[in-house]
Amino acid sequence: MAAHDEPEAIAPVKPAHVPLLVEDGFMGAQFSAELCALAVANEAAFKRAVVTRPTVERELDLASRRSFTFEGDLGGLGARFVERVAEAGVFAALGMEPVAEPHHEFLLSAHRDGDFFTPHTDVVVSGDRAFLGYDRLVTLTYYAHLPQARFEGGELVLHGLFGHGEPEVIEPRNDRLVAFPSFAPHEVRKVVQPDAPFAEARFALTCWLGRNLAD
């Protein structure tokens, strides 16, 4: 390089933003009310949430995750939700290759006073994929709570990839859908709701879309 030549500038690293879809009024007030009613009717069936780690399928870890979950029958609500998701074209909206007939898995959760979920991803890798039977591709979270429910916190925080970029903080509004790739790191901030009954919890229906391992 000649003495008068300037060194070539190095382009700055761009933040690794995660694709994100947020849609309010996604299912409508009637669906939200029915989901809350189902949760309240099945209060006794909600169990402490567990976490999944390499070589450990399901483990109770209250330092990482505090909430209650229901894995029972959603009745017709599940089918209605899946139909609406298909109409919304979620894969295309996130810039992801669509899956013709994606596998779906549901989890209904209730976050109450002091509940949270530390940063994590929803993908399961290596040999631990076998117990799921499919690869998670998209995480959808639908929020629902009763009109009289009053709580602070409980925001979903979506972090940039590899620690880059500013986090996206998403308020858990009633009848709001949030969708993002399952590999994206995210967390749930602590809920503050002292002395509130179960019926006024921050409810969330999570649906994972994926590809069956046999496909």
pLDDT tens-place string over residues 25-37: 999 999 999 999 9
> Domain range for residue 203?
21-212
Q: Using CA atoms, how far apart are residues 138 and 141, in angstroms rounded to an integer?
A: 10
97 — phi, psi (to 5°)? -65, 125
Q: Which pLDDT belongs to residue 11?
A: 52
pLDDT by residue (tens digit) across 88-107? 999 999 999 999 999 999 99
194 inside domain: yes
Q: What's the number of domains the chain is made of?
A: 1
> What residues contact residue 97 under an 8 Å CB cut-off, 6+ apart?
91
Query: What would the two tokens of residue 106 be?
Result: 């549901």
Strands 56-59 and 116-120: unpaired
Query: What would the two tokens of residue 153 be?
Result: 């916190």
- Could you write out the DSSP letters of every residue in 102-126? -EEEEEEEEE-TT-EEEEE-----G
Hey, what amino acid is at 108?
Answer: L
8 inside domain: no
158 inside domain: yes
74 inside domain: yes
100 inside domain: yes
CATH code at position 146: 2.60.120.620
pLDDT by residue (tens digit) across 173-210? 999 999 999 999 999 999 999 999 999 999 999 999 99
12 inside domain: no
